[in-house]
Structure 1
Amino acid sequence: MTPSPLNTGLGLRRGLLPELLALEPGTLDFLECAPENWIGVGGAYGQALGQLAERFALSCHGLSLSLGGTAPLDQTLLVRTRQFLDRYQVSLYSEHLSYCSDDGHLYDLMPIPFTDEAVQHVATRIRQAQDLLGRRIAVENISYYAAPYQAMSELAFIRAVLDEADCDLLLDVNNVFVNACNHGYDAAAFLQALPQERVAGMHVAGHYDEAPDLKVDTHGAPVKDAVWALYAQACRRFGVRPTVLERDFNYPPLAELLAETAHIRALQTRHGVPCHA
């Protein structure tokens, strides 16, 4: 049997486990989890993950590789991640185009300087990670509120990293919207300038409106209409790509999250064409 395409997914969070375990197969195409939160986990949580993996395909979105950091890559984590991906037959693995450690974990995603030197540094580390994982990875464009140094634009930096590392992009549409508002660029033009062939998947999420020119990426609220409109543009530009609704706290009833995933599917159907890359 040919597996169903992974079009519409939801972030797998422990706070949602009871309701996710009650879902019927087919309610979602897939669930996305952070492997670091599940590697080596046994007991009731490990059993729950196993049950969900029998009903739904899994994608993985890492949190801890610190691809832009200066410390050597955590090879133990990479080996264990590869084993996790192999065990659950994960076809899409992504990480963040950022760093999250400096003599210990910072528990935040920090922006990388937009420089030629940083492009070479992070691309080398992405290639090393891909070699150790035995697969291509996608890197996610992050939201940021201050940049350490910008010798080039965010767009030029992302494009240069993708080319130099020969990796894919996990396009976070909400982050594009947030950064465009906060840093004064055109979100639609940003999407149009990204290479179609590199986009392996997408994320949508909610954010907080601090001010007209200050948006905060929270993952704690429903997706806003302007982000849905930008996602529709992304579907027209990139086609139907695996898309995850991210929600990290302030969980509503699962029915409300499923209404948002249904909206993802509706926009994919209305605006996108199937992609088989």
Structure 2
Amino acid sequence: MKQFVGIGYRKDFGEDFLHSEILQPSFIELAPENWMNIGGYWKKVLRRLSEKYPITAHGLSLSIGSPDELDWNFLEQVKNFLKDYDVTVYSEHLSYSKCDNAHLYDLLPIPFRFDAVKHIVERIKQVQDFLQRKITMEIVSYYTPVAAEMSEAEFVNEIINGSGCNLLLDVNNIYVNAFNHNYDAHKFIDQLPLDKVAYIHMAGHEKVADDLIIDTHGQPIIDPVYKLFEYTINKLETPVPVLLERDFNIPEFEELAFEMSKLENICKKSWSFSYAS
């Protein structure tokens, strides 16, 4: 049976992951910044991972919304990494993380403005031309809007359609944003260019106050997010890869396998037409 659910590989997994009969993802995701130009022991692990699993790459440093010039040396390294490991999907964040050559080490929101749309569309086109592939942009979680001139959904549509890139739906991010900013997550998803969705992320979060959720990727997925996931994939005409993210508080493999199994079962139910023995 075809499977769709992968997992973000973390060095905490070590070599145990390569020999595990408990965790059997259909692919793994890596942050290229953590693996480019690596040598020694981890270079050997990376090669073995690539021989066993298809790899997707989820970047952290593109900073597509930054006013700074694109880092072409960095992009050259990314391009080589994607080629060397036959990466199937390269995704990044619809955010910025550096300005005036200062790296902020966070994914900061971009103002929902027309000038920002024009700026980002042009930069995505430049990146895609350089990499000779479409990139997939993720809607990030954010905690305050900045000088908005349009809705978030309009902003996302303008960028995706204007640049020709694909869309990464992090369902947990949408749940978090909807909760924190008091809007309907289902209606938000309905407004997105769902025909451009090429990748889905699923993760956990932490509720820190009655009116605030923090996107941590350090907790199990909660039932309302599973339900929003099922709603989302039922809207898609074509199955796409689904990733389980867990960045810290890494549990035993059995717990990760349980979450992956739940996601796989939802996919199987929703995408039964695409499963073939």
In the TM superposition, what whole-angstrom CA distance separates every residue of 1:178-213 from its partner, at most 9, and x where no partner exists?
000001110011111212210001000000011232
CA contact (8 A) 1:240 1:273 kept: no
What does residue 18 of structure 1 align with?
A: 15
CA contact (8 A) 2:4 2:26 kept: yes
Mapped to 2, the partners of 1:79 and 1:168 lie a distance apart of 21
SS at match of 2:234: helix
Cα distance 1:7–1:106, how it changes in 2: closer, same or farther (>3 A)? same
CA contact (8 A) 1:19 1:254 kept: no
Mapped to 2, the partners of 1:274 and 1:84 lie a distance apart of 34
Q: List alignment gaps of at least 5 residues for structure 1.
A: none
Matched, 1:126 2:124: yes
Matched, 1:91 2:79: no
What does residue 226 of structure 1 align with?
A: 224
CA contact (8 A) 2:6 2:26 kept: yes
CA contact (8 A) 1:93 1:138 kept: yes
Root mean square deviation, CA, Å: 1.8
Mapped to 2, the partners of 1:26 and 1:245 lie a distance apart of 12
CA contact (8 A) 1:240 1:274 kept: no
CA contact (8 A) 1:25 1:56 kept: no
- Partner amino acid for 1:197? D
Cα distance, 1:258 vs structure 2: 1.2
What does residue 8 of structure 1 align with?
A: 5
Matched, 1:28 2:25: yes
SS at match of 1:179: helix
- Matching residue within 214, 220, 225 for 2:212: 214
CA contact (8 A) 2:173 2:215 kept: yes
Q: List alignment gaps of at least 5 residues for structure 2.
A: none
Mapped to 1, the partners of 2:120 and 2:273 lie a distance apart of 31
TM-score, normalised to structure 2's length?
A: 0.94
CA contact (8 A) 1:209 1:216 kept: yes
Cα distance, 1:273 vs structure 2: 5.3
Q: How does 1:144-155 map to 2 (within 5 A)?
A: 144-155=142-153
Cα distance, 1:272 vs structure 2: 2.9
Mapped to 2, the partners of 1:65 and 1:266 lie a distance apart of 34
Mapped to 2, the partners of 1:131 and 1:251 lie a distance apart of 37
SS at match of 1:229: helix
Mapped to 2, the partners of 1:5 and 1:107 lie a distance apart of 37
- Partner amino acid for 2:96? Y
Cα distance 1:163–1:78, how it changes in 2: closer, same or farther (>3 A)? same
Mapped to 2, the partners of 1:96 and 1:78 lie a distance apart of 15
Mapped to 2, the partners of 1:23 and 1:54 lie a distance apart of 15
What does residue 111 of structure 1 align with?
A: 109
TM-score, normalised to structure 1's length?
A: 0.94
Cα distance, 1:23 vs structure 2: 2.6
Cα distance, 1:25 vs structure 2: 11
Matched, 1:54 2:33: no
The number of aligned residues is 273
- Partner amino acid for 2:248? F
Matched, 1:76 2:73: yes
Mapped to 2, the partners of 1:166 and 1:219 lie a distance apart of 29
Mapped to 2, the partners of 1:75 and 1:69 lie a distance apart of 14
- Partner amino acid for 1:149? A
Cα distance, 1:5 vs structure 2: 6.3
Larger RCO: 1 or 2 (CA < 8 Å, sep 6+)? 2
SS at match of 2:15: helix
What does residue 266 of structure 1 align with?
A: 265
Mapped to 1, the partners of 2:22 and 2:70 lie a distance apart of 37
